[in-house]
Amino acid sequence: MGGFPILSALTFLPMVGALIIMAVRSATSGSSSVANKANDGRTALMAGLVISVATFIVSVAAFLYYDPSTPGYQLVEQHVWYQSISYKLGVDGLSLPLILLTTFLTPICLLASLNSIHKRVTEYVVAFLVLETFMIGVFTSLDLVLFYIFFEAGLIPMFLIIGIWGGKDKIYASFKFFLYTLLGSLLMLVAVVYMYITAGSSDFEVLEKFAFTPHAQTWLWLAFMASFAVKLPMWPVHTWLPDAHVQAPTAGSVVLAGVLLKMGGYGMLRFSLPMFPDASHLFQPFMFALAVAAIIYTSLVAWRQTDMKKLIAYSSVAHMGFVTLGIFSFTEVGVQGAIFQMISHGFIASALFLIVGVVYDRMHTREIAAYGGLVHRMPIYAAIFMLFTMANVGLPGTSGFIGEILSMIGGFQASTWAAGGAALGVIFSAVYMLTLYRRTVFGEITNPALNDIKDMNRIELITIVPLALLTLLFGVAPNLILNLTEGAALRILSMMAGG
Amino acid sequence: MLDFTAMTLAIGPELWLAAAGLVGVLLGALLKDNFNGLSFKFGALVLFVAAGIAAVFYQGGEAFGGLVETNTFVNYAKIVSYVVGGLALVMSEGFLKRHETARYEYALLTIFASLGMGMILSAANLMTLYMGIETLSLSSYVLAAFHRDSARSSEAGLKYFVLGALASGMLLYGSSLVYGFSGTTDYAGIAAAEPSVGLMFGMVLMIVGLAFKVSAAPMHVWTPDVYEGAPTPVGAFFGAAPKMASMVVFANVMFQVFGNSMDQWQLIVSIIAGLSMLIGAFGGLTQTNIKRLLGYSSIANVGYALVAVAAGKDLGAGPLLTFMTLYVVSSIGLFAAVLTMRRQGGMVEGISELGGLMSKRPWLTIALSVLIWSVAGLPPFGGFLGKWVVLEAGIGAGLYPLAIILVLSSVVSLGYYLRLIKIMWFDEPTERFESIDSSVMLVVLTSALFVVVFMVFFFVLGGWTGQAALGITA
């Protein structure tokens, strides 16, 4: 690996692309006819697609350069930035899968927007590409300040995506999303400053070795958790998520569920466990209680939803409960399961939101009651929906099963009660997902508007089929991911043990 | 015995401003109305040259038998104040022309106000400080009421004058108490004096007076009214140049005069800082006039800056300069954006008038959004690092409650910053604004570029301010 800064290239490629698209548009704007505008938008979307695919290729290249057999950070780039803060990038087995998830989902998001976004398309593409840079930056940065900058900056494009291209209550949802998450992350900022002053550096590797006093750890842990708990989201600070999901455009929901939520789990694994081990042990029962409460409570809430997107949003909260459970089991299998669950949920939840988007684009409603009998008109759709319903329930053979079972095994080793409660959640997830599926897909067509609904078109298939294949692939061959994450999981646990 | 070398080294920029100001008065008397158009360029040039002189004699010195003494700390503030003052003047011309008030007095008053700023920054004696404050204030009162035919402007000027006079009185009374109990008006002499209750009384009264000048709560009530009532370019000037100068003077007095009794004033300054942040954050939430909104935003930002002051000289001096630089540059850009809100010959100031700006003027909107997010302290813009260094100072000094208030009020104030963003990006377009003066657009773009560039190259700005802070810490 010569001196080429592949991670910088990976991180900033989408942003550079966004700037180019913006510059080209302002240079060619002036033609104001409607046809031209639509054409401009399509060109911008295609350009965005090319850039995001290129980013994906770069991330695959980074993956190929990465050596999973050596633990620790690789492909590191470091430059001093300001005082002891440095511009430091690197990846390990924890961040690399999440980066690949991000770069994989972004082109899908853009493609899925081709038929659903009709106004201000250029800005939409720019917002998405800028968001991609910030998301990748969160996972590649190895400096706490840099991490924080990317972490918080990502709010801005997401705010615009929900606020401009969202549904009826988009303003409310975007403000709630922004202020809720910001409150959490600003408390983290205070902790970041404290750590920087105390340890004299914001470098991950320095902080991981630095032993904070147990008293300080408690407060730092709480401040970090204020941010990650909102982001993940954990019960009871999840209430922004259903609003944001329901109002966001389909692609916004995909990226929100697919990537942004994972930042919470990533943060817990990256900071809470290795840097504040005493506090993590102290709060383990608390986190288990919240995780089980999230799994059971939000599953029940999901069951009673009448809005398809809201149902999936609550199901996301429940599935993130497994992530918390796995992480705070402090066992290798649990942590591995949590990482796996994050990746797997990234595919499944994204696909489910795309599936809702398919019928929403045709019917412009997300009410479950407005559907029924879709199988008679949309057989392919019904089959794909079935696959992801099963994956979300955690059926063996799909990646959802592996994530849940590993998390639960880990949880079981730490607390039988917590694992038992989580297992109850698996049953509930079957209840609400199968209910959803039955009410929308089976039965007779009661809504006459459904009589001439068309099955999925080619673009929709291109967006969903890769997700379906990966869900099945990782369901039967989980080692593809687990081998990659093993080193990182072991390293985190050894740092917790004081290594 | 006048030692010109020492005088130039110490207060070169102020000598230049005084001389240039008098030349301006002469030119005005000779050319009469013909000078009106030229005066703005003349004034801006004078201010930029003054900044240049301050940069040349950056190390500073002492003159007039210790009445003035400068160092890199205050000289840095001078440079920033003069530059943003000059920028405010550059973008004023078009506005005043359209209101038929483009008179040369405006530029001259700006020069004399800047002279006052230079004097308070250079002061090493309570007498110099008071004279400088009065020079700055009297020019400011007139500037606030510059649209004398407008009731709003006259009201703003009057309010500012009455309250300002009260604050000056407090400052003067405090100074006299300090003098009475220390026996000297010299900064160093007071710093060396035996602490006593009387001295503390004087100090508190001086803090009250200075807090008024920087518009810190609870002496902030004039700010929204004056910002709203004064002509917009005047608001731009108030929000930037005197803000920078007064804030640094506030810090200078605390650090240099009362440096030994920091345990006495740290709590007072902390309370003022906390109140300012909260009042600025909550007060702005219900505003519908953009200038009032910016007024509350400035109160909140003064609160943040005061956190750096409360952290003390060693921790706070550099962060204060960094924060204020980023803030005043953003502030002048935001006011410049208000100047673009013009249709059918009249200015509009309701924030809803910005509706859908993105679809009409994308570059202006993007620049403005960058500035708003920067003032709000969000990454990836410069304002975030301004907040970062302030937090670092505050937490380093153990002021945890203040740090928590800072972040909480940031979230609250995001309520109104986001509303601006929402109006510009999400709402349906309103009627298009009339064409924008190129000078105004230039200021908006420059300040937006500034907060982006100095985010990436923050070590440059941080290096400058860190070096400047050595002027009082070394």
pLDDT digits (tens, 9 = 90+) for A76-85: 888 888 888 8
> Which among B378, B400, B425 has CB closest to A152?
B378
CB contact under 8 A, A178 and B418: yes
CB contact under 8 A, A186 and B407: yes
Q: How far apart are CA A164 and CA A145, in angstroms?
A: 30
Find the range with the poorest average confidence among B16-30, B172-186, B418-432. Answer: B418-432
Which of residues 329 through 368 in chain B touch A, CB cutoff 8 A?
Answer: 358-359, 362-363
- Considering only CB atoms, which chain B residues are within 8 Å of A150? 379-380
- What secondary structure, in 3-state letters, does chain B show? CCCHHHHHHHHHHHHHHHHHHHHHHHHHHHHHHHHHHHHHHHHHHHHHHHHHHHHHCCCCCEEHHHCEECCHHHHHHHHHHHHHHHHHHHCHHHHHHHCCCCCHHHHHHHHHHHHHHHHHHHECEHHHHHHHHHHHHHHHHHHHCCCCCCHHHHHHHHHHHHHHHHHHHHHHHHHHHHHHHHCCCEHHHHHHCCCCHHHHHHHHHHHHHHHHHHCCCCCCCHHHHHHHHCCHHHHHHHHHHHHHHHHHHHHHHHHHHCHHHHHHHHHHHHHHHHHHHHHHHHHHHHCCEHHHHHHHHHHHHHHHHHHHHHCCHHHHHHHHHHHHHHHHHHHHHHHHHHHCCEECCEECCEHHHHCCHHHHCHHHHHHHHHHHHHHHCCCCCHHHHHHHHHHHHHHHCCCHHHHHHHHHHHHHHHHHHHHHHHHHHCCCCCCCCCCCCHHHHHHHHHHHHHHHHHHHCHHHHHHHHHHHHHHHHC
- Considering only CB atoms, which chain B residues are within 8 Å of A160? 425
A395 contact partners, CB below 8 Å, separation of at least 6: A401
**Does residue B435 carry a pLDDT above 80?**
no
| Interface contact B426, partner A, CB < 8 A | yes
Q: How far apart are CA A277 and CA A292, in angstroms?
A: 22
Helix B72-90 and helix B438-456, axial crossing angle in degrees, nearest 10: 150
| A20-39 pLDDT per residue, tens | 888 887 777 654 555 566 67
Nearest CA of chain B to the CA of A341: how many Å? 30
Q: How far apart are CA A120 and CA B84, in angstroms?
A: 36
For the residues A80-108, what does the mean pLDDT come to? Answer: 89
Nearest residue on chain B to A183, judged by CA atoms? B411
User: Which string of DSSP letters, residue by residue, matches A81-123?
Assistant: EETTEEEEEEE-TTHHHHHHHHHHHHHHHHHHTTTT--SSHHH
Mean pLDDT, chain B, rounded, equals 89
Instruction: Enumerate long-range contacts of B286-291, CB under 8 Å, 24 or more apart.
Output: B287/B224, B287/B351, B287/B416, B288/B350, B288/B351, B288/B352, B289/B228, B289/B349, B289/B350, B289/B351, B290/B338, B290/B341, B290/B349, B290/B350, B290/B351, B290/B354, B290/B420, B291/B227, B291/B228, B291/B232, B291/B235, B291/B338, B291/B349
- Considering only CB atoms, which chain A residues are within 8 Å of B418? 159, 175, 178-179
**Cβ atoms of residues A261 and A233 within 8 Å:** yes
Other C-beta atoms within 10 Å of A322: how many? 33
Q: Considering the domain boundaries, does residue A361 fall inside one? A: yes
The two structure tokens encoding residue A370: 């407005």
| Interface contact B169, partner A, CB < 8 A | no
For the residues B39-52, what does the mean pLDDT come to? Answer: 93
Q: Considering the domain boundaries, does residue A39 fall inside one? A: no
Can you tell me whether residue A73 is helix, strand or coil? coil
| Interface contact A160, partner B, CB < 8 A | yes
> Which among B391, B458, B462 has CB closest to A189?
B391
| A332-366 pLDDT per residue, tens | 899 999 999 999 999 999 999 999 988 888 888 88
Confidence of residue B1 (pLDDT cuts 50, 70, 90): low
**How far is C-alpha B3 from the chain's CA centre?**
32
Dihedral pair phi/psi, residue A118, rounded to 5°: -120, -15
Nearest CA of chain A to the CA of B306: how many Å? 17
**Does residue B188 carry a pLDDT above 60?**
yes
A348 contact partners, CB below 8 Å, separation of at least 6: A388, A391, A392, A398, A399, A400, A467, A471
Helix B400-425 and helix B362-376, axial crossing angle in degrees, nearest 10: 170
Helix B290-310 and helix B197-214, axial crossing angle in degrees, nearest 10: 150
CB contact under 8 A, A179 and B391: no
Q: How far apart are CA B83 and CA B191, in angstroms?
A: 32
| Interface contact A186, partner B, CB < 8 A | yes
**Cβ atoms of residues B314 and B73 within 8 Å:** no
**Cβ atoms of residues A277 and A496 within 8 Å:** yes
- Considering only CB atoms, which chain A residues are within 8 Å of B410? 182, 186
| B251-281 pLDDT per residue, tens | 999 998 888 888 888 999 999 999 999 999 9
Q: How far apart are CA A204 and CA A76, in angstroms?
A: 12
For the residues B288-313, what does the mean pLDDT come to? Answer: 92
| Interface contact B432, partner A, CB < 8 A | no
Q: Considering the domain boundaries, does residue A315 fall inside one? A: yes
Confidence of residue A1 (pLDDT cuts 50, 70, 90): very low
Nearest CA of chain A to the CA of B466: how many Å? 11
Question: Quick one: residue B323, left, alpha or beta (phi over 0 = left, psi -120 to 50 = alpha)?
Answer: alpha
Q: Considering the domain boundaries, does residue A142 fall inside one? A: no
CB contact under 8 A, B411 and A183: yes
For the residues A109-131, what does the mean pLDDT come to? Answer: 86
A448 contact partners, CB below 8 Å, separation of at least 6: none
**Cβ atoms of residues A257 and A316 within 8 Å:** yes
User: What percent of chain A is modeled with pLDDT above 90?
Assistant: 24
| Interface contact B457, partner A, CB < 8 A | no
CA angle A414, A420, A422 (to 5 degrees): 90
Dihedral pair phi/psi, residue B347, rounded to 5°: -85, 145
Mean pLDDT, chain A, rounded, equals 87
Domain that holds residue A445: 276-499
Q: How far apart are CA B219 and CA B299, in angstroms?
A: 10
Q: How far apart are CA B246 and CA B320, in angstroms?
A: 12
CB contact under 8 A, A187 and B407: yes
The two structure tokens encoding residue B92: 């004023």
| Interface contact A183, partner B, CB < 8 A | yes
Can you tell me whether residue A470 is helix, strand or coil? helix
Nearest CA of chain B to the CA of A222: how many Å? 14
- Considering only CB atoms, which chain A residues are within 8 Å of B411? 179, 182-183, 186
CB contact under 8 A, A83 and B462: yes
Nearest CA of chain A to the CA of B218: how many Å? 26
**Cβ atoms of residues A40 and A22 within 8 Å:** no
Q: Considering the domain boundaries, does residue A121 fall inside one? A: no
Can you tell me whether residue A400 is helix, strand or coil? helix
| Interface contact B403, partner A, CB < 8 A | yes
Q: Of B126 and B349, which is predicted with more confidence?
A: B126
Q: How far apart are CA B462 and CA A82, in angstroms?
A: 7
Dihedral pair phi/psi, residue A90, rounded to 5°: 180, 165
From B21, B49, B22, B29, select the one nearest B110 (Cα to Cα). Answer: B21
| Interface contact A87, partner B, CB < 8 A | no
Tokens 């329901």 sit on residue: A246
Tallying the residues shown for chain B, one arrives at 474
| Interface contact A219, partner B, CB < 8 A | no
* Confidence (pLDDT) at A36: 62
The two structure tokens encoding residue A438: 């039955």
CB contact under 8 A, A164 and B425: yes
H and E: helices and strands count for chain A: 22, 2
Q: Considering the domain boundaries, does residue A215 fall inside one? A: no
Q: How far apart are CA B205 and CA A494, in angstroms?
A: 58
DSSP for residue A451? G
| Interface contact A202, partner B, CB < 8 A | no
For the residues B342-363, what does the mean pLDDT come to? Answer: 80
- Considering only CB atoms, which chain A residues are within 8 Å of B316? none
CB contact under 8 A, B379 and A170: no
Q: How many domains does chain A have?
A: 1
Q: How far apart are CA A309 and CA A11, in angstroms?
A: 30
Q: Enumerate the β-bridge partners of residue A88.
A: A78
Tallying the residues shown for chain A, one arrives at 499
- Considering only CB atoms, which chain B residues are within 8 Å of A26? 362-363
Q: Considering the domain boundaries, does residue A478 fall inside one? A: yes
- Considering only CB atoms, which chain A residues are within 8 Å of B414? 178-179, 182
- Virtual torsion, Cα B372, B376, B377, B379, nearest 10 deg: -50
* Confidence (pLDDT) at B262: 83
* Confidence (pLDDT) at A35: 55
Domain boundaries, chain B: 4-473
Q: Considering the domain boundaries, does residue A390 fall inside one? A: yes
- Considering only CB atoms, which chain A residues are within 8 Å of B355? none
Which of residues 17 through 46 in chain A touch B, CB cutoff 8 A?
Answer: 26
| A269-285 pLDDT per residue, tens | 999 888 998 899 899 99
**Cβ atoms of residues A308 and A325 within 8 Å:** no
Nearest CA of chain A to the CA of B284: how many Å? 16
A47 contact partners, CB below 8 Å, separation of at least 6: A17, A20, A21, A24, A125
Helix A121-140 and helix A34-65, axial crossing angle in degrees, nearest 10: 20
Give the sign of the dihedral formed by CA A229, CA A231, CA A233, CA A236.
Answer: positive
Dihedral pair phi/psi, residue B342, rounded to 5°: -140, 130
Total beta-carbon pairs less than 8 A apart between chain A and chain B? 82
